[in-house]
Chains A and B, each alone.
Chain A
Amino acid sequence: MIEVVGLNKSFGDKHVLKDISAVFETGKTSLIIGASGSGKSTLARCLVGLITPESGRMLYDGRDFLELSNKEKKELRTEIGFLFQGSALFDFMTVEENIRFPLDMLTNLTKKEKQMRVDEVLERVEMPTSHKLFPSELSGGMKKRVGIARAISPQPKYLFCDEPNSGLDPQTSIVIDNLIHEITVEYNITTLVISHDMNSVMEIGEYILFIHKGDKWWEGDNQKILKTDNEELLSFVNASGFLTNKKADL
C-alpha cells in the first residue's frame, strides 16, 4: 500500500501539487487521471524519488520515503517497477539484456535464475522469442510489453505506469491495460497508472484520483465516476466521449 499525505511541490512560482493526499491499495490498479499539465506525472515522479517534494509524506507500507536513509531508499527502489511513457528501454541493450539489467543491478540471483526470470516475464508479456532483438527493432506496443517485463522482472511490490497507452492504437491499448491489470492481481502488487486516456484505462481502474491544476479534485472508482456531478471531472470525461458511450451502453 502507498499512502500519500499532504504532498506539495512547486517549480518556481508555480504550485504544481497542492496538498495531495491519497491511498493506493495493494492488489488494486489505481489511476491518477487529469489533463496534460495537471501534475499527475509530477506526483508519480515525487513518489519514486525523481523529484523531491517540499512537504508531505509518502508511505510505502508504513515506510516514509522522505525519511529513509540513502541505503534504505536504494533498498526500497528495488521494490519499485516503473513503466515509462516512451518505455525508456536502453538502446544499446537487447530485449534480454534490458530485462536482465535490474536483476543484475538489484538482486543476487545466479545466472541461471536470472535467465529463468527473463524467460518467465517475456512469456508473461507474450513475447517469448524476442530475446535478441534491439529496441529499435520493436513496435510501440512491443516496447511497452518489454517495458512492463523489465519493470516486473525483479518482482516489485509497487508498479508505476506513466501513460502506458500513449502512442498506441486502441486495440493494443486494451491489451496493455489488461496486461497491467492481470499482473497487478496475479502478483498482488500496488499499481499506479498515470493517464488521461479514459476510454481504455477506466476499464481497469479500481481507484481513481482526479487531479486538476495540482489539486486533488475527485476520488472514487469507475462506477462512481458515472454518477459524478463534479463539473471539472465531467468536462474531462466528456471530452473523451467515454461517458457518452457508457451511458449509451447502460
Chain B
Amino acid sequence: MSIYRKRLFDEMVSLGLASLGIIMVISLFMGAVITIQTAANIDSAFIPSYTIGFTTRQSTILEFSPTIMALILAGKVGSNIASEIGLMRVTEQIDALEIMGVNSSSFLILPKIIASVIINPFLVIISMFVSIGGGYMIAMFTDIVSVSDYVYGIQLDFRPYHVVYALSKAAVFAFIFTSVPAYQGYFAAGSALEVGKASTRGVVQSSIIILVANYLITQLFLI
C-alpha cells in the first residue's frame, strides 16, 4: 500500500506542481487580455465600466480557467503520460510488472488519474485568482478601467455555484486528459515511432473529448 501512496504523491508533484508555472503565466496574460478586449468592445456610454471586471471574472471562472487550462494540460501532461507509459511498454517494463504479478494498469495509470483529479481543481482555483489578478494589473497600470470599478465588477452578482460548476468540470477534464493518453500509451506497440503516434493520438483525442464534455456539462448544469 505504501508504494501506491508514494506513487500517488509523486504523481501529484509531477502532474500538478510541475504545471504550476505554465498555468500561472498563461492565466496572468489571459486575465489581462480578457480585460483589455472587453474594454475595447464596450463602446456604449450606457454600459457601466464595472462590466469589464464582471466579464473578466465570469469568463475566467466559467470557461477560461477550467477549459483552456485543461486543453493546455492535455498537451503538456497528456503527451507526457502517453510517451512515458508507451516507452515503458516498448522497453518491456510493463511486462516486467505483469510477470511480478502486479496489475500494471492499476500501478501505472490509477495513481496518475487520482492525482490529477485531486490536484487539477486546485490548479484551476490558482488560475482563477491569477487571471483575475492579471485584469487587476491592467486596471492598476492603465487607464482602461479604474481599480475601484474593476473590483466592484468582480464582486458583482457573484454566485458560488459557478465555482462549483467550474471545479466539477476541472475534475472531469483531469480524468479525461490523464486516462485517454494513458490508454493510448498503454496499448502502444513496436517502436519509438509508435510511441510518438500514441502520444499525438492521446493529446488530440483528449482535447476533442474535453470540448464535447465541456458542452455536455454546460448544457446539463448551467442552463
Using a CB–CB distance below 8 Å, which chain A residues touch chain B?
48-50, 73-74, 77-78, 80, 82, 84-86, 88-92, 101-102, 104-106
B155 interfacial contact with A, CB 8 Å = no
Q: Are A106 and B101 in contact (CB under 8 A)?
A: yes
Q: Are B99 and A48 in contact (CB under 8 A)?
A: yes
Residue of A nearest to B14 (CB): A92
Contacts of B222 on A, CB cut-off 8 Å?
none
Q: Are A84 and B101 in contact (CB under 8 A)?
A: no
From B2, B10, B92, A88 is in contact (CB under 8 Å) with B92
**If the complex has contacts A104-B3, A105-B3, are A88 and B93 also in contact, measured as CB distance less than 8 A?**
yes
B77-101, CB under 8 A of A: which get 1 and which 0? 0000000000110011101101111
Known interface pairs A48-B99, A74-B101, A90-B93; 10 further A-B residue pairs with C-beta atoms within 8 A, sorted by A's residue number: A49-B98, A77-B100, A78-B100, A88-B95, A91-B88, A91-B93, A101-B3, A105-B3, A106-B100, A106-B101
From B88, B99, B102, A82 is in contact (CB under 8 Å) with B99
From A50, A85, A101, B98 is in contact (CB under 8 Å) with A50
Q: Are B99 and A86 in contact (CB under 8 A)?
A: no
Residue of A nearest to B93 (CB): A88
**If the complex has contacts A86-B92, A88-B91, are A105 and B102 also in contact, measured as CB distance less than 8 A?**
yes
Q: Are A88 and B101 in contact (CB under 8 A)?
A: no
| Distance to closest chain B CB from A234 (angstroms) | 32
| Distance to closest chain B CB from A223 (angstroms) | 33
By Cβ-Cβ distance, the 3 closest A-B pairs, closest first, are A77-B101, A88-B92, A88-B96
Query: A78 vs B101: C-alpha distance in the bound complex, in angstroms?
Result: 7
Instruction: Return 22 A-B CB contacts under 8 Å, by A number.
Output: A48-B99, A49-B99, A50-B95, A50-B98, A50-B99, A77-B100, A78-B100, A80-B99, A82-B96, A84-B95, A86-B91, A86-B92, A88-B91, A88-B95, A90-B88, A90-B96, A91-B87, A91-B93, A104-B2, A104-B3, A105-B3, A106-B101
Q: Are A85 and B92 in contact (CB under 8 A)?
A: yes
Query: A50 vs B101: C-alpha distance in the bound complex, in angstroms?
Result: 11
Contacts of B98 on A, CB cut-off 8 Å?
49-50
Contacts of B3 on A, CB cut-off 8 Å?
101, 104-105
Contacts of B96 on A, CB cut-off 8 Å?
82, 84, 88, 90
Contacts of A80 on B, CB cut-off 8 Å?
99
Query: A77 vs B102: C-alpha distance in the bound complex, in angstroms?
Result: 10
Query: A88 vs B93: C-alpha distance in the bound complex, in angstroms?
Result: 5
Contacts of A91 on B, CB cut-off 8 Å?
87-88, 93
From A84, A92, A105, B92 is in contact (CB under 8 Å) with A84
Contacts of B2 on A, CB cut-off 8 Å?
104
Contacts of B95 on A, CB cut-off 8 Å?
50, 84, 88
Query: A84 vs B99: C-alpha distance in the bound complex, in angstroms?
Result: 11
Contacts of B91 on A, CB cut-off 8 Å?
86, 88
Chain B positions 87-133 with a Cβ under 8 Å from a chain A Cβ = 87-88, 91-93, 95-96, 98-102
Residue of B nearest to A45 (CB): B95
From A73, A85, A89, A105, B100 is in contact (CB under 8 Å) with A105
| Distance to closest chain A CB from B203 (angstroms) | 21
Interface hub of B3, B87, B101 (most chain A Cβ within 10 A)? B101
Query: A73 vs B2: C-alpha distance in the bound complex, in angstroms?
Result: 24
Query: A158 vs B93: C-alpha distance in the bound complex, in angstroms?
Result: 19
Query: A89 vs B96: C-alpha distance in the bound complex, in angstroms?
Result: 8
Contacts of A105 on B, CB cut-off 8 Å?
3, 100-102
Query: A92 vs B95: C-alpha distance in the bound complex, in angstroms?
Result: 16
Query: A50 vs B97: C-alpha distance in the bound complex, in angstroms?
Result: 11
Query: A85 vs B3: C-alpha distance in the bound complex, in angstroms?
Result: 26
Query: A155 vs B151: C-alpha distance in the bound complex, in angstroms?
Result: 67
B1-27, CB under 8 A of A: which get 1 and which 0? 011000000100000000000000000
Contacts of A104 on B, CB cut-off 8 Å?
2-3
Query: A21 vs B101: C-alpha distance in the bound complex, in angstroms?
Result: 26
Query: A108 vs B91: C-alpha distance in the bound complex, in angstroms?
Result: 29
Query: A88 vs B101: C-alpha distance in the bound complex, in angstroms?
Result: 15
| Distance to closest chain B CB from A69 (angstroms) | 13
Query: A88 vs B10: C-alpha distance in the bound complex, in angstroms?
Result: 21
Contacts of A86 on B, CB cut-off 8 Å?
91-92
Contacts of B99 on A, CB cut-off 8 Å?
48-50, 77, 80, 82
Query: A104 vs B5: C-alpha distance in the bound complex, in angstroms?
Result: 13
Contacts of A78 on B, CB cut-off 8 Å?
100-101
